[in-house]
Amino acid sequence: MEIVNPNAAGIDIGSRFHMVAVNQNVDDVKEFGVYTEDHEAMIIWLKENSITTIAMESTGSYWQTLFSALQRAGFEVILVNGQHTKNLKGRKTDVQDCMWIQKLHCLGLLNGSFLPGKYVEQLRTYYNHRQHLIEHCSKYINKMQKSLRLMNIRLDVVINDITGKSGRAILNAILSGEREPTVLASFANVWVKKSKEEIAKSLHGNWREDLLFELQECLSLYDIYCGKLAFCDEEFDKVLQFAKSIDMRLPIAIPSGRVVRDRSKHAPVFNVRKLAYMHLGVDLFDIKGVSHNTVLCIMSNMSREEMKKFPTVKNFTSWLRLAPNNKKTGGKIISSRTPKGKNQIALALRQASNSIGNQKDHPLTHFFKRVAYKKGRVAAITATARKLAVIIYHMITKQQAYEPINSEQVIARIKKHQISNIKQRLNRLNLTPNEFNDIVKSVSLSAN
């Protein structure tokens, strides 16, 4: 095969050391450490061997510091998917791995993975840390509910959120020493649907000291994580506002669209809609069912220009791993399973699709239910998430506003297909005139 990249190197990234190959000679393979001085020594050695382009394969986050150092040194660096380099013959070793990567890169058989820019990478760090804090808040809410349940204090039955206004007032009173159920029930807000008597019934318990201690500690840690979440939002907002000083040709005012209210407890304190419109150029909140977290995830993982790196929407949905991975042999499809992945955007779109499946008047509800009837709810969530990804891709790349699907037209089209199917089935039955008239009469009687 023709050598495409003659001055290529292959690096197998490890947690303790990196193996580097500059040719197919085993004696030229060299091992480097993971410290900064080791990176500098590797750069000098690569320049001495006239290397211009480098391919590296890694798992985890061990590659990031070396990748940045090599880019700053002037090398062309690509990060390779491990699935593309695993067909190595013979016994697997680190030396053979880096030599195999170098050989594939010389022949031009490797493609680099998509990597966001430095600014989007900062946003991703804040977003991931924000999600980490929300997860810990949820864990401590569950632990508080467990402590109350073991004391037979069923506050979670009468109040939806024990950390809301009413639940928090009752918890504070319990930890202050109040044990009378009627007094505790009086702290509940008037907007609570359950009556004061039922709330008082749920507050009869055994009041174990060890569980009260656990409840107090969990509530204290919950407050700490909520405070850290608010501080994270402040820093997140600063980074987003920094884009105003960059020449990104951002629009100034947001268009008037549907009113969006986020009822979630841990919704961002800053204006996600305005900042997302500044960064993406379109108002994604026009898509019904898309929440603040969905838009924040998209904005934190990909910019407007980076989305245009995907030439078609099929490439974009395939990168999200929301499209079927069709495997053919002998002209037949032997597998079409959607590949697994941990893409943050895909996860956010799946959550939005799950909420769409619970709605009645959403334009995509009919599509969701049709797929769920045939293949189940999990497949319907994936298919609807792909629909949302297609809509968002076209909105951002073409800078077009969202045009919702007409539900009446969808219902009329489905009805037309169903009538056509009924006609085809009747033709295949070869019914006599009397049998056909009997069917028409029974249908008209059932309709009346």
Lowest mean pLDDT among 153-167, 251-265, 361-375: 251-265
Q: Three-class SS string for 5-24?
A: CCCEEEEECCCCCEEEECCC
Lowest mean pLDDT among 97-106, 160-169, 335-344, 385-394: 335-344
Amino acid, res. 100: W
Lowest mean pLDDT among 191-200, 238-247, 368-377, 415-424: 238-247
Task: Pull the structure tokens for residue 166.
Answer: 């009413």
Among positive and negative, which fits the CA dihedral 363, 366, 367, 369?
Answer: positive
Categorize the per-residue pLDDT at 432 as very low, low, confident or very high, splitting at 50, 70 and 90: confident
Stretch 392-405: mean pLDDT:
88
Domains of the chain, residue spans: 8-106, 119-242, 254-398, 411-447
Stretch 297-324: mean pLDDT:
91
For residue 78, which of 181, 154, 5, 169 has the smallest C-alpha distance? 5
Q: Is 366 exposed, middle or buried (0-12, 13-18, 19+ CB in 10 A)?
A: middle
pLDDT, tens digit, 9 for 90 and up, residues 119-140: 888 899 999 999 999 999 999 9
pLDDT, tens digit, 9 for 90 and up, residues 24-40: 898 889 999 999 999 99
Query: Looking at residue 244, what is its pLDDT?
Result: 52
Q: CA 391 to CA 307: how far, in whole Å?
A: 13
| Beta bridge pairs of residue 112 | 80
Categorize the per-residue pLDDT at 13 as very low, low, confident or very high, splitting at 50, 70 and 90: very high
Categorize the per-residue pLDDT at 250 as very low, low, confident or very high, splitting at 50, 70 and 90: very low
**Percent with pLDDT over 90 in the chain:** 50
Note every long-range contact of 228-231, with CB atoms under 8 Å and residues 24 or more positions apart, other chains counting: 228/133, 229/130, 229/133, 229/134, 229/137, 229/266, 230/269
Categorize the per-residue pLDDT at 45 as very low, low, confident or very high, splitting at 50, 70 and 90: very high
Whole-number average pLDDT of the chain:
87
pLDDT, tens digit, 9 for 90 and up, residues 159-205: 988 998 999 999 999 999 999 999 999 998 888 888 999 999 999 98
Categorize the per-residue pLDDT at 342 as very low, low, confident or very high, splitting at 50, 70 and 90: confident
Stretch 151-164: mean pLDDT:
91
Look-up: residue for tokens 């050695």? 45
Look-up: residue for tokens 């292959």? 10
Categorize the per-residue pLDDT at 246 as very low, low, confident or very high, splitting at 50, 70 and 90: very low
pLDDT of 263 above 80: no
Query: Looking at residue 431, what is its pLDDT?
Result: 80
Query: Looking at residue 281, what is its pLDDT?
Result: 86
Cα angle 302, 59, 36 (rounded to 5 degrees) comes to 90
Categorize the per-residue pLDDT at 245 as very low, low, confident or very high, splitting at 50, 70 and 90: very low
pLDDT, tens digit, 9 for 90 and up, residues 205-222: 899 999 999 999 999 999
Q: CA 69 to CA 74: how far, in whole Å?
A: 9
Query: Looking at residue 248, what is its pLDDT?
Result: 46
pLDDT of 235 above 60: yes
Categorize the per-residue pLDDT at 252 as very low, low, confident or very high, splitting at 50, 70 and 90: very low
Task: Pull the structure tokens for residue 332.
Answer: 């037949």
Stretch 108-122: mean pLDDT:
87
Lowest mean pLDDT among 78-92, 248-262, 304-318, 341-355: 248-262
Query: Looking at residue 119, what is its pLDDT?
Result: 86
Q: Pseudo-torsion of CA 251, 253, 257, 260, nearest 10°?
A: 100
| Beta bridge pairs of residue 20 | 11, 30
Q: CA 352 to CA 381: how far, in whole Å?
A: 9
Could you tell me if 275 and 253 are in contact, meaning their C-beta atoms sit under 8 angstroms apart?
no
Does 89 or 184 have the greater pLDDT score?
Answer: 184
For residue 10, which of 72, 83, 25 has the smallest C-alpha distance? 25
Q: Could you tell me the fold of the domain covering 8-106?
A: Nucleotidyltransferase; domain 5 (3.30.420)
pLDDT of 262 above 50: yes
| Beta bridge pairs of residue 19 | 12, 31
